[in-house]
Structure 1
Amino acid sequence: MSTTTVIDMIRHGEPEGGPMFRGSQDDPLSTKGWQQMRAAVSNDDNWDVIVSSPMARCRAFAETLAEERGLPLHVENNLREIGFGEWEGLTAEQVQQGYGDQLNRFWQDSINHIPPGGEPVPEFYRRVTESFSQWQQKLAGKKVLVVCHGGVIRMVLADILGIPLERSFTGLAVPYGCRARVRVDQSEFGTFRSMLSLTPVPDL
């Protein structure tokens, strides 16, 4: 028996405080962030289920949408953002001022140049891809919305597209409200996974 699973991943909108390295810092969405999330979905979307990161910037919108559309919601701890260690709460400019060339090294090779105290990218990749695979199997044949983070989307797409892990944070631009669609076809011939689209939210 063959099944087709369609998974839409949406990055949360802009949180209060604007762009910065957040990781495990649990800021809620700003007014603009809510607008971006609303713009990322449409009445034509007909998901069967929603899966969300536990972070407030994802979960609040996921809970609201699930209630509005009468959909089941699952909160998955392993889809939280990567931990940025000492960089959390800092803007890119502040990191550059305080840590010199470390930020540029991270962008160029995120495996060997992680933030001080940060989560190693291979460990982040492993927890995200294992969790994504588990939900993909559990929800096989359904249309799924995953509300998550830029780093999470990058890990999933790096896995599907074969992007080298050290380039995974610079190989794909995933702005606030960006939406990626993945299709998984399973049959007696095996599993075929592909990215169908990567769509930024319209400018607001």
Structure 2
Amino acid sequence: MSVFTTVDLLRHGEPEGGQKFRGAIDDPLSALGWEQMRTAVGNYQAWDAVISSPLIRCAAFARELTGRIDKPLTITGGFSELSFGIWEGRAVAEVNAADAQALGQFWRDPVGHPIPQGEPVADFDRRIGAAWDGLLRDYQGQHVLLVAHGGVIRMILRRLLDMPLHRIWRIEVPYAAISRIRRHCDPEAEPHLVFHNGHLA
């Protein structure tokens, strides 16, 4: 077992259905999305285990990958995406045309201007924080891959960088982007961001 815990964060690729608010909606990956994720991972297989959101745009690729590299897979509901409430399934352009003010307020301050019927961002942050703490505890000293969503990855990086919660949209997380976090197994050690939107090596 290593003295470091290393976690690679992989966002899912492009889903079917185009650009829209897609939190709880379970759209599968498009053909391009599959290609994006396979390209991002390449022949890399140094992980001890893979953890995935249960949503199919993450879990389908995680199952394919673990079958290929013969490593265990854990599906964790705590890493599901933020629910976008009344905007779920609607195109971003449609929401902007219908209520540009509400959309702009949400982008600027998602805590102070939540989406009606959506998951409050503070609750989302607590959920991701609990799942992340559990991952670091359960996989201490291992190198693991977390296949998740843009919002999930932003929340993890927000905690790591001690960013204000209302500034999460400042972090770019493209489809199939990979980031790496490493933490010494000393319980007092702080995790480090090794790279963001980088490449496996």
- Give the TM-score category using the shorter length: over 0.9
Q: Calculate the TM-score normalised by the size of structure 1.
A: 0.94
Q: 1:18 & 1:49 partners in 2: Cα distance?
A: 31
User: 3-state SS of the aligned residue for 2:6?
Assistant: strand
**Secondary structure in structure 1 of the residue aligned to 2:7:** strand
The residue that corresponds to 1:57 in the other structure is 57
Partners of 2:136 and 2:145 lie apart in 1 by 11
Whole-Å separation in 2 of the counterparts to 1:98 and 1:115: 14
- Unpaired segments ≥5 residues, structure 1: none
Cα deviation for residue 45 of structure 1 reads: 3.7
Contact 2:11–2:153, Cα closer than 8 Å, also in 1: yes
Shift of 1:129: 1.2
Which is further off, 192-201 or 18-27? 192-201
| Off by >6 Å, runs of 4+ in structure 1 | none
Gaps of 5+ in 2: none
Q: Is the 8 A contact 2:141 2:185 kept in 1?
A: no
Alpha-carbon deviation of 1:141? 0.6
Q: Is the 8 A contact 1:10 1:148 kept in 2?
A: yes
Q: Distance in 2 between matches of 1:48 and 1:68?
A: 13
Amino acid at match of 1:153: I
- Identity across aligned pairs (percent)? 41
Q: Secondary structure at the match of 2:190?
A: strand
Structure 1, residues 129-165: CA drift from partner, whole Å, max 9, x if none? 1101111110011110000000000000000001110
Partner amino acid, structure 1, of 2:157: L
Aligned Cα root-mean-square deviation (Å): 1.5
Paired positions, count: 199
- Residue matched to 1:174: 173
SS of residue paired to 2:195: strand
Distance, in Å, in 2 between the alignment partners of 1:115 and 1:200 is: 32
